[in-house]
Amino acid sequence: MARISILVDNTGDDGLASEWGLAMALEDDAGGFWLWDTGASPRFLDNAQAMGVDPARAQGLALSHGHYDHTGGIPALLRAGFSGPILAHAGVNRPRWARHKDKIDPVGIPAPLERFEAVSGARQLTPDLTLVTDIPRLPGLPQSLNNLFLDPQGHTQDPVADDAFVLLQTHRGPVLVLGCCHAGLENTLSCLRDRLGIQRLYGMVGGAHLHDADQERLDGALRALVECGVEYLCLGHCTGQAAMTHLACALDCRVEPLCSGLVLDF
């Protein structure tokens, strides 16, 4: 049985901590165990303990991208005894900023990684777990890059070139695991088809970064989800409540929100 445990998300369950961040434990049918992001702080470790998960025992840590809300817990993870490999796109340490209302704040990885293994393309983590980076950005397809910059003046847009995803193979079918999906949902699904040969998905779990999407972009995401035949959606973090409501009403599949403490068995 494959399992995804949500160690931290924007909302909590059963008294567990929440924060603007995302961290998961990914387990495949053969006992493979990897971490996917670490949230913004050590809170994911406290939640993991309450859930009976020991992140220090993970085979490795894969990073979806280098924003603070997905990498801020790394120092605490290392202090907790984790010694496995850290895998990410080569650009994960790049400084970056975001505009919040009338100011521009740093949002990059708080403590740049001294040791990590750069992954280009696809890397098989276990027989049923694959990390994919370098997602092609196709002309005309939307990306989630609003108010993201490579300079503190806000002159150069950040393409978030380090955006990545994980594919988990389960008995029910392929499950796409997202971080923030800055490459855009349509680009991500296109990459999944072209690079891994996956035409249809059973499930999708993570953040889809649709909180600032207009109706045209939501409709495009909806069409892409229908085309891949997804049967189960569990989205949260940067997805946005309005987008979740829209997808739940429009899709003929099971849709539920992500939250800290949620355990998904496939």
d(CA 180, CA 97): 16
Task: Give Cα separations from 125 to 58, 61, 162, 167, 237 (angstroms).
Answer: 12, 10, 18, 10, 24
Helix pair 185-196, 215-227: axis angle to 10 deg: 20
* pLDDT by 10s per residue, the chain, length 266: 999 999 999 998 878 999 999 999 999 999 999 999 999 999 999 999 999 999 999 999 999 999 999 999 999 999 999 999 999 999 999 999 999 888 999 999 998 898 999 999 999 999 999 999 999 999 999 998 999 999 999 999 999 999 999 999 999 999 999 999 999 999 999 999 999 999 999 999 999 998 887 888 888 898 999 999 999 999 999 998 888 888 888 898 999 999 999 999 99
The CA-CA-CA angle for residues 247, 223, 166, to 5°, reads: 80
Phi and psi for 238 in degrees, rounded to 5? -95, 10
Q: What is the domain partition of the chain in residue ranges? A: 3-265
3-265: CATH topology: Metallo-beta-lactamase; Chain A (3.60.15)
Secondary structure of residue 221 in the 3-state scheme:
helix
d(CA 239, CA 133): 20
